[in-house]
Amino acid sequence: MTLHSRSDDRRRFPRSRRGFAAIEDRGEAATLNHVDNISANGVLCHTSEPIPLMTKIRMALDLPSPVGKRVECEGIVVRCDPHDQGENHYRVAILYTKVSEEDRHAIEKFVQHDLAHANAAE
């Protein structure tokens, strides 16, 4: 199994496709509920409702093992598409606008670990 496709090879930042939980900090019910893939530049999430383009979002991303760190960041919605799972399922691409260097490094470490293990499994 591979964690990235050929189209991802052209990206500036490699990405992990290992999913995990995401929390949107709006001060109300969370909209983001699952990370599809992540890179040091942005994240693709599943949501239960559409989010308008250019919406600013504060997020908490709990990076799984081996990093095991909560990353708190801000981003902006750059894409929102209906998911083929049906109503109330959307895929939302978020570009980070504010993330600390320490948190960006943790994301990079998480992605590199996943990619190394995916390549070893091939």
| Domains contained in the chain, CATH given | 9-121 (2.40.10.220)
**What is the C-alpha to C-alpha distance for residues 62 and 32, in angstroms, rounded to an integer?**
13
- Confidence tier at 65 by pLDDT (50, 70, 90): confident
Residue 82 near residue 90 (C-beta atoms within 8 A): yes
Residue type, 19: G
pLDDT in tens, 22-41: 655 554 444 667 788 889 99
Section 88-93 average pLDDT: 87
**What is the C-alpha to C-alpha distance for residues 39 and 71, in angstroms, rounded to an integer?**
12
For the chain, what is the largest distance between any 2 Cα atoms, rounded to a whole number of angstroms? 43
Give the pTM.
0.75
Is it the case that residue 11 has pLDDT exceeding 60? Answer: no
